[in-house]
Amino acid sequence: MDSFSFGEFMREGGWGMWPILLLGLAALASAVRYATRPDRQGLRFVAALWLTLMIAVVHASITDVAAVFGYFQDPGRAPDPQIPRTLLIGLKESTRPAVLGGIFLTLVPLLGAVGIFREGTSRAATSATSG
- Using one digit for the tens of pLDDT, what is the confidence trace for 101-118? 999 999 999 999 999 999
Domain boundaries, the chain: 14-120
In this prediction, residue 121 carries a pLDDT of 81
Residue 130 vs residues 39, 61, 64, 74, 119: alpha-carbon distances, Å: 20, 52, 56, 73, 16
Query: pTM of this prediction?
Result: 0.86
What is the number of residues in the chain? 131
Sign of the C-alpha dihedral computed for residues 3, 10, 24 and 65 taken in this order: negative
